[in-house]
A = this chain, B = another copy of it.
Amino acid sequence: MSIIFSKSCEYALQAVLYLARQPEGSRKHLREIASDLNIPYHFLNKVLQTLTRGGIVVSRKGANGGFALARSPKEITLIDIVRAVDGESSLDGCVLGFPACGEQTPCPVHDQWKRAKEVILTMLQKKTLAELGKGLDGKLELIAQSLSAGKEG
């Protein structure tokens, strides 16, 4: 299982990254997203509902329906998705679980964890979806390929 993020959150991040790479104004069907990213259809359904309620994506029912980003990929960072899915405080709390850990009574790794957290937060909020998407032109396809290859084998 993943570190840091729940499965729901992983799927959400993948799906949003996927939508960010679509031409602006277009919509993608749940069916297509799930199949391309190899995510269980019904599970992704719920995740996308959460993202819709969270204002990250917009949805449209019926024929010609589907999902699209609610805002431009230039205005969304990964932390927005994490907050919408795993909640606001998923990065708070003492990493060793001491309930009273804080600046006055720090746990043995308090300062070091603080530094690690900063690196993680930077990772999540420094770049927009647009910038992240650019860096991997063609790579998502490669990932998807090796992915489905692994499924068949």
> Which positions in A face B, CB cutoff 8 Å?
2-5, 7, 10-11, 13-14, 17, 38, 78, 90-91, 93, 95-101, 104-109, 112-113, 115-116, 119-120, 122-124, 127, 132-133, 135-136, 139, 142-144, 146-147, 150
Cross-interface CB contact of A2 among B93, B105, B144, B147, cutoff 8 Å: B93
Can you identify 12 A-B contacts, CB atoms within 8 angstroms? A2-B93, A2-B95, A3-B3, A3-B90, A4-B95, A5-B95, A5-B96, A11-B97, A17-B96, A100-B143, A115-B119, A116-B120
Closest residue on chain B to residue A112 by CB atoms:
B123
Chain B contacts for A90, CB-based, 8 A: 3
Contact B95 A147 (CB under 8 A): no
- Chain B CB count within 10 A is highest, among A91, A135, A139, A144, for A139
Contact of A119 among B10, B96, B119, B132 (CB under 8 A): B119
A97 touches B10 (CB 8 A): yes
Q: A123 contacts which of B97, B116, B139 (Cβ < 8 Å)?
A: B116
Contacts A3-B3, A90-B3 known; A109 to B132 CB distance under 8 Å? yes
User: What is the chain B residue whose CB lies nearest that of A113?
Assistant: B123
Which residues of chain B come closer than 8 Å to A147, judged between CB atoms?
Answer: 98-100
In the assembled complex, which residues on chain B have CB atoms less than 8 Å from the CB atom of A109?
Answer: 78, 123-124, 132
Contacts of A108 in B (CB 8 A): 17, 127, 132-133, 135-136
